[in-house]
Amino acid sequence: MPARLEKSAVTRVRIALYLAPALLLSLLVFFYPICKTIYNSLHELVLGGANAGASRFVGLGNFRFVFKDPLFAESLGHNFLLFLVCVPLLVVLSVAVAVLLNQGMTGWRAYRTIVFIPYVLPIVVVGISFGFMFQLNGVINTAFAALKLDALRVDWLAKSNSAFLVLVVMIVWKELGFGVVIMLARLLSVDESLIEAGRLDGCNSWQLTLRVIVPQMKEIIYFYTVLATITVFTWLFNYVFVLTRGGPGTSTYILELYAYNQAFRYQNRGLSSAVAALIILAVLLVTFLPELRRLAARKEGIEHMRVPRG
């Protein structure tokens, strides 16, 4: 074997050895639970008889039951509604606040810190605080009463529409800081020559933002949109559990709470795992489907650029 090839092989083995602990840990922490979840989704727990505690294979029975359950359909609808409301709000507000802070206003560092603080607060603290603020005799209604705006005093968490609105406000307030920080990080590398060219062409601040700055941020906007989408479908359990427990009634029920109750309230591990498997599938589609479409488009572009041989 030539010395160069032998050195390359040794280097590859060394890299593999360096990566092995992290890969093994990733398999243990992520891959095994996913496999276990899929396994449990195809089985149900035997609760009585001689085989109590054992698992019985039911195939797709858990999935069929879940899709026929009206509560699952309602929970899925709530997740989609949160997706349609929260994700656009988070993306638009993140870009807008980042652009404002990037213009060098007085005290912008302090404002950046203020915007980011909610993101690092524990969700339990935020949920309890919002619960006290929006209860019948909470801070919000007390302020309305002091301003003689009694018509706006509502038992926010006792009505379906207002409880859902409070949940949206809490999610956006809590998650906005991360989006602002990553948008600011991208703005630091924006091509200043294009901005100067836009100013010379007579663009105002609004036109500069929409036609010069935002197009340069499209990759990070896409990245944050994917993150926000994953958050809406997989990371809202704590918000709902602390603030409303899915109520009033089932007006704020979401997929994670549905899976939690099936597993720990009704001891139905198979149904809970089936819902978890569906959530995993949705996250994989959200994460990888746009990339696959992008790769397909790039491949198609390369094929069009090839010159046919005569």
* Predicted structure pTM score: 0.86
> Which domains does the chain possess?
69-305 (1.10.3720.10)
How far are the Cα atoms of 35, 71, 75, 236 from residue 67, in angstroms, in the given order? Answer: 22, 9, 11, 21
Cα(101)–Cα(104) distance, integer angstroms: 6
- CA 143 vs. chain centroid, Å, equals 33
Tell me: pLDDT of 310 over 50: no
Beta bridge partners of 45: 55
Residue-wise pLDDT for 55-91, tens only, equals 888 989 999 999 999 999 999 999 999 999 999 999 9
Q: Would you place residue 309 in the very low, low, confident or very high pLDDT band (cuts 50, 70, 90)?
A: very low
Tell me: pLDDT of 301 over 70: no
Q: Would you place residue 17 in the very low, low, confident or very high pLDDT band (cuts 50, 70, 90)?
A: confident
Q: Which pLDDT score is estimated for 53?
A: 62
167, 240 contact by CB (below 8 A): yes
Residue-wise pLDDT for 128-142, tens only, equals 999 999 998 899 999
Write out the two tokens for 60. 């797709």
Q: Which pLDDT score is estimated for 285?
A: 85
Write out the two tokens for 185. 């990080």
Q: Which pLDDT score is estimated for 250?
A: 93
Share of the chain above pLDDT 90, in %: 49
Q: Which pLDDT score is estimated for 289?
A: 75
Q: Mapping DSSP to helix (H, G, I), strand (E, B) and coil, where does residue 307 land? A: coil
Task: Give Cβ neighbours of residue 222 (< 8 Å, ≥ 6 apart).
Answer: 290
